[in-house]
Structure 1
């Protein structure tokens, strides 16, 4: 991989492990001050229950769609990707916090899921292009690298 990808990885890790938890904590405190601690805890627990139910349901549907596609000889496409987004959305809802719950709900809703499907497929396609261009730069005949010819000598 190229060296330009490392700074982006650092920013992503910083976001998920530092900024997002701090933002979640801030939102939970604000909600707790508005509706009270017990109602806030109840909402967070309800989100976890709903998220686990979604994961269970979407996992069964994704497995069924995959099995049906394989049995009929079709490529599992949109159905499996939709169920994967529902699984990810359910996992986000399980995590305590209102921001991850909101993103999880957006991934689960059928009318917002196509937007995320296009976004994810675009990200995956861009990564495939990066990977394929990086594999073309290997040293060897016909590339910009040099080839060192040699002979293996066995001392046994």
Structure 2
């Protein structure tokens, strides 16, 4: 990711809570504080219900996916997006609640899986290939380098008697130092 894009993402993430607070204040003025509190509490309860209902089944599907190759990764991503929707519903805020409610629509989740997650996986795969290639050299390694890195050194265990008398380390002294 380029530097200006990183800065833009950081600024958007920093402005998002301020926008959420502003929208909550405006919505509270428009509908009243009690309706706003009921809306926030209702979406939080809905999000908690979704996470409890879908959360464990996602882990069970992941484990069954590891044991057999009968289904693809699409149901796992679908469950992940449902859990993400639940988390967004738990967060207090109008934008996060709307995003969570939109993610609960199955067609939106399927569209997100087909487009967004595929691009995300290819992006991270590309980044991993670039990172792996950064450590490779253009010339083939010599015969000496193929055996690995060798670090030579000597050590002595302080808890045991020294192997060579006269070359031991001074024993530790516990007590006052003057």
Please tell me the TM-score bracket, short chain as reference. 0.7 to 0.9
Deviation readout 1:58-98 (Å, 9 max, x if unpaired)? 11221232233334344651111100010011101100011
Determine if the alignment matches structure 1 residue 61 to structure 2 residue 76: no
1:14 maps to: 11
Alignment size in residue pairs? 149
Q: Distance in 1 between matches of 2:43 and 2:153?
A: 68
Between the aligned partners of 1:97 and 1:137, the Cα distance in structure 2 is 42
RMSD over aligned Cα, in angstroms? 2.8
Q: Deviations over 1:24-60 (max 9, x none)?
A: 1111111111100111111011110000111111112
d(CA) in 2 for partners of 1:29, 1:130? 41
* Alpha-carbon distance in 1 for matches of 2:153, 2:46: 68
Q: 1:112 aligns with which of 108, 115, 134?
A: 108
Unaligned runs of 5+ in 1: none
The reply on whether 1:52 has 2:41 as its aligned counterpart is no
Taking a change above 3 Å as real, the CA distance of residues 22 and 55 of structure 1, as seen in their structure-2 partners, is same
Equivalent residue runs for 1:136-147 within 5 Å? 136-142=133-139
**So what's the TM-score if we normalise by structure 2?**
0.71
How far apart in 1 are the matches of 2:23 and 2:151?
Answer: 68
Find the counterpart in structure 1 of residue 165 from structure 2.
none
Q: Is 1:27 paired with 2:30? A: no
Q: Which runs of 5+ in 2 are unaligned?
A: 155-178
Greater helix fraction, Structure 1 or Structure 2? 1
Structure with larger RCO (C-alpha < 8 A, sep 6+): 1
Instruction: Name which one, 1 or 2, has greater alpha-carbon Rg.
Output: 2
> TM (normalized to structure 1)?
0.80
* Structure 1 segments of 4+ aligned residues over 6 angstroms from their partners: 149-153
